[in-house]
Amino acid sequence: MLPLITTTALSVMLDGPPEGRPTLLDVRWRLGGPPGIEAYQAGHLPQAVYVDLDTALAAAPGEGGRHPLPEPGQLQAHLRAAGVHEGHPVVVYDDADGSIAARAWWLLRWAGHTEVAVLDGGFAAWQAEGKPVTTEVPVPEPGDIEVRPGQMPVLDADEAAELAREGVLLDARARPRYAGEVEPIDPAAGHIPGALNAPFSAHAAENGRWRTPDELKAHFAELGVTESGNVGAYCGSGVTASSVVLALEVAGHPGAALYTGSWSHWSRDPKRPVATGDAPG
């Protein structure tokens, strides 16, 4: 599957033969709430199963950051409970811009499941087009996915620091947090020295639809990403940075690395250097 799917293409798949209908995962989530399950209960795509970011797509907060990678067995159990089958297509969606759904997309790819796409425009686009929405909660047939971790590249803190100096490390947070002007959550304000600010909001237009591959390619070219460039991404806790990896793939740069602990991990250690201001440092 391509990494993004349109509402039209998804509608065709859902209306097609049962064997080709994708498993739908609703992963709506907002930093600071309200809980995504409330949005799901108010209305979701037919047959979509809610998957909680905090409990299914991450381990408990701790030394690894606010959203560490889940244990493979934990992830496999949640995905099977959601009806994910080995080799069967999966479509994930969030409210609109894909920045949260990308976490599920990335984890499935990391787990070795390649048949996964993010719904372009998310629930907002689906609903705006008058496509069917329901409050009925499905009971999926248990899946049989085998989680094979390590199929997407990851960075630890030392590797992220090295990449910021020798390649391109993109910080997906909004500029004020990158610059260290504000930090509402983590222990220190600022960014990894050498990292470039690349807010995830640049991937989508105001309507939540993703920009074209050519537009994204031009965007990343301005940040120094080349065809052969060594590139990785991080954010606050490893969630929205997943959408940078997704956007890079859409732009023709597959295989970007993700610093899964991100700033919530980096800033836990006061010995790690911190840069502030708009310059990489």
pLDDT at 224: 95
In angstroms, the Cα distances linking 117 to 3, 120, 148, 229, 243 are 5, 9, 18, 25, 12
| Residue 197 bridge partners (DSSP) | 171
pLDDT at 31: 87
- Residues labelled as active-site residues: 235
Q: Could you tell me the pLDDT band of residue 203, with boundaries at 50, 70 and 90?
A: very high
Is the pLDDT at 186 greater than 80, yes or no?
Answer: yes
Q: Find out whether 216 and 222 touch, Cβ atoms under 8 Å.
A: no
- From 96, 83, 5, select the one nearest 50 (Cα to Cα): 83
pLDDT at 135: 98
Beta strands in 124-277 (DSSP E): 154-155, 168-171, 196-197, 231-234, 257-259
pLDDT tens string 206-253: 888 999 999 999 999 999 998 767 999 999 999 999 999 999 999 999
